[in-house]
Amino acid sequence: MITVQGVQNQTIAVLGLGRSGRATVAALAAGGAQVVVWDDGVDTREQAAQDGLQVLDLTREQDWAGISALITSPGIPHLYPRPHPVIARAYDLGVPVDNDIGLFFRSFATTDWEQFATTPRVIAVTGSNGKSTTTALIHHILREAGRPTQMGGNIGTGVLSLEPAHDGEVVVLELSSYQTDLARALTPDVAVFTNLSPDHLDRHGGLGGYFAAKRRLFAEGGPDRAVIGVDEVEGNYLANQLAMSAADDRVIRVASGQKLEGFGWSVFARKGFLSEYRKGRQVASFDLREVTGLPGAHNHQNACAAYAATRAVGIPPREIERAFHSFQGLPHRSQTVAEIDGVRWVNDSKATNVDAAAKALAAFPRIRWIAGGMGKEGGIEALTPFLGTVVKAYLIGHSARDFALQIGQIPYEIAETMEQAIARAKAEAQPGETVLLAPAAASFDQYPDFEKRGEHFTALVQALQP
């Protein structure tokens, strides 16, 4: 656990008692704070009281006496579409509002570090797509290279539940826009921006607000190195804002599909090959096409970002390349589940929208596509340009018939259930083809979440193996 510093004998309020809220309570108490809590859920409040926590109704002004700060969970709106009433009350009273990310960055460094031979470092990853894969890949590379490392934030362990740093350790954090938007302290050593596509727009008041939340990690944080994906205009703008000149190697530009040669430091993937350039010269290159855990151009962008981040903390190129080949990918994200009789079975249950499904469909040459579920507004007509590799679609769930009307001339079958879709794909797939679960839809018609959908797919496929 990270003990929060600078709060001794202060009364700190915590709003929201989920995983991060509970960890925040413990970390504040360890730092000597008197902690009071509030949650909108009656059952949660009752459980907190039974656990010995002091529950105050923070919707009432009279319960704010003596409170010096409010720490809120990331999922609770603090600005758009409107602030939560408790947060609005804090604003009215002038009580500073922060989150666990802000507490982490102000508390991670301790006097113990004076005894370390090598100062610990933090790599923080944000962006719209690929940040979980990029974070996990960075962590995997560091571990394979023998560097002490922890991973947390929006993936795995909450930031305040991480262990205090060891000598030379690198902590890798995935940070969502919800987390970067409010944190009062953001001081990573290396910050990574993967890409930007529209998401959470109601929470951020539009695309500009969403980008601004991501940008705070760089503008507020002042990292020693900034790894910036420049395949979209927002990343190109951010790299330009941070660099003093094209030769400024504090900014490492990364891209998938375009060549980046005229900069102080760049990493890019083209035609399946990753290249690193420094001061106009190529210093490393290797083939990504045989890295089974990172299929497709979108994963090649993730690979470039992870490569750049780990190079920035001193990992040699060949060690990174070796680690790539042992990376299995994250569950439900272009995850190869099995290869049976020459047919590859891939679980991309996380592809719950058109953009994510398009990236998955672009990653493989001959696809038997399992799609459907609870379709989203606009359907899947926007996927039409990406269906050229689809041999046949097997449509499941609530939107199966709607999807059938939107895929043009692609052969399809209404399979209804995952079991039937897999059975039909198994009967018809030929060697060299890929059976891809990329639903382009939410899971809630048949499953509680995309993870359970992916786990069902995986279990059914594994049962096919001899």
Buried b (16+ CB within 10 A) or exposed e, 83-109: bbebbebbeeeebebbbbbbbbbbbbe
Ligand-binding site membership of 131 (annotated) = yes
DSSP 449: S
Torsion (CA) 293, 299, 301, 306 in degrees, nearest 10: -40
CB-hemisphere CA count at 13 Å for 385?
Answer: 5
**What's the longest Cα–Cα distance across the chain?**
70
Buried b (16+ CB within 10 A) or exposed e, 378-397: ebbeebeebbebbbbbbbbb
Return all residues near 403 (Cβ < 8 A) that are at least 6 apart: 371, 372, 375, 379, 380, 393, 395, 412, 440, 441
Strand ranges for 61-140 from DSSP E? 67-72, 97-98, 121-126
Rounded distance, CA 399 to CA 283, Å?
49
Please state, as a whole number, how many other Cβ atoms lie within 10 Å of the Cβ of residue 161.
18
Please state, as a whole number, how many other Cβ atoms lie within 10 Å of the Cβ of residue 448.
9
Structure tokens, 222:
């002042």
Rounded distance, CA 187 to CA 36, Å?
27
Residue 126 in contact with residue 217, Cβ under 8 Å? yes
Ligand-binding site membership of 130 (annotated) = yes
Per DSSP, the three-state class of 347 is strand
Question: Which DSSP string do the residues of 283-336 spell out, in sequence order?
Answer: EEEEE-TT-TTS-HHHHHHHHHHHHHHHHHTT--HHHHHHHHHH----TTSSEE
**Nearest alpha-carbon partner for 97 in 78, 110, 80, 111:** 78
Residue 108 in contact with residue 128, Cβ under 8 Å? no
Sign of CA dihedral 340, 346, 347, 349: negative
Ligand-binding site membership of 132 (annotated) = yes
Ligand-binding site membership of 128 (annotated) = yes
Which segments are annotated as binding site? Answer: 127-133
Which segments are annotated as binding site for ATP? Answer: 127-133
